[in-house]
């Protein structure tokens, strides 16, 4: 069923009003293998949420069509593709997926300065999504970083990559709640329309199963630490009553 919603807060590539309402700060992850399953969950939420994340699993199954469908229904889309390739390839991918109308799009900060700069240039058009640089996945801890040759702490690596992204014009990052305070200090406060947008996944309500995540936090902890927006998946999508679970998280965020 289609859900009538009030005008949404749109975050574009050039202007970043800091979200203030809880519903503008919660992104529900549609990690499903088909568009049908994803839309079933959207319907179950009964208009509780305004933002949805389309990640690789759903995007590879349904492509730009699922982004366009969500936009046509009045929702905002966080397209989490974590683009990571040579600069020319990433720039082309940014231009291609921009046509679907997503508000946010991720690239991997680990791709380096040249790749990030190419992505930023490709997303400079008036209808392009705002780019977010993914720093260190929330499934990784210090031991796993050492395994891929990064000997510093996760926090140090996250701040390093966040500053790299900001230096080439990408004013938003994805990081865990453990680092969001340090990133906020390094990138600057979100007190104006061009402040950094810090999106935090790995959110788990108190007592919830952390699954394959390592660096997690409750919704209240992440907001208090300086997060702009939160990404929540399984605590909502696998709940017996997704709308009730989402409402509980929104209430905690408001508190």
Q: Which residues are catalytic?
A: 82
User: Rounded distance, CA 28 to CA 40, Å?
Assistant: 13
Are the C-beta atoms of 240 and 224 separated by less than 8 Å? no
Beta bridge partners of 68: none
Residues in the chain: 255
CA–chain centroid gap for 150, Å, is 24
User: Rounded distance, CA 255 to CA 251, Å?
Assistant: 6
Are the C-beta atoms of 194 and 16 separated by less than 8 Å? yes
User: Rounded distance, CA 71 to CA 52, Å?
Assistant: 10
Beta bridge partners of 28: 52, 232
């Amino acid at each position: 069923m289609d859900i009538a919603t009030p005008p949404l807060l749109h975050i574009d590539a050039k202007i970043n009003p800091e979200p203030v309402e809880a519903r503008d700060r919660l992104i529900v992850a549609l990690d499903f293998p088909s568009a049908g399953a994803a839309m079933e969950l959207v319907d179950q939420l009964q208009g509780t949420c305004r933002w949805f994340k389309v990640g690789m699993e759903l995007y590879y199954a349904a492509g730009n069509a699922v982004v366009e469908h969500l936009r046509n229904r009045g929702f905002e889309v966080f397209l989490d593709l974590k683009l990571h390739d040579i600069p020319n390839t990433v720039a082309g991918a940014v231009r291609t997926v921009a046509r679907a109308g997503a508000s946010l799009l991720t690239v991997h900060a680990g791709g380096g300065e040249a790749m990030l700069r190419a992505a930023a240039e490709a997303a400079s058009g008036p209808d392009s999504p705002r780019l977010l640089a993914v720093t260190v996945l929330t499934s990784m801890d210090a031991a796993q970083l050492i395994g891929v040759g990064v000997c510093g702490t996760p926090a140090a690596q996250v701040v390093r990559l966040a500053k790299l992204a900001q230096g080439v014009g990408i004013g938003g990052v994805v990081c865990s709640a453990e680092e969001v305070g340090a990133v906020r200090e390094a990138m600057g406060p979100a007190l104006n329309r061009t402040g950094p947008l810090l999106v935090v996944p790995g959110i788990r309500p108190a007592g919830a199963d952390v699954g394959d995540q390592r660096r997690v936090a409750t919704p209240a902890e992440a907001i208090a630490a300086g997060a702009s927006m939160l990404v929540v998946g399984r605590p909502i999508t696998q709940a017996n009553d997704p709308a009730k679970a989402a409402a509980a998280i929104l209430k905690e965020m408001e508190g």
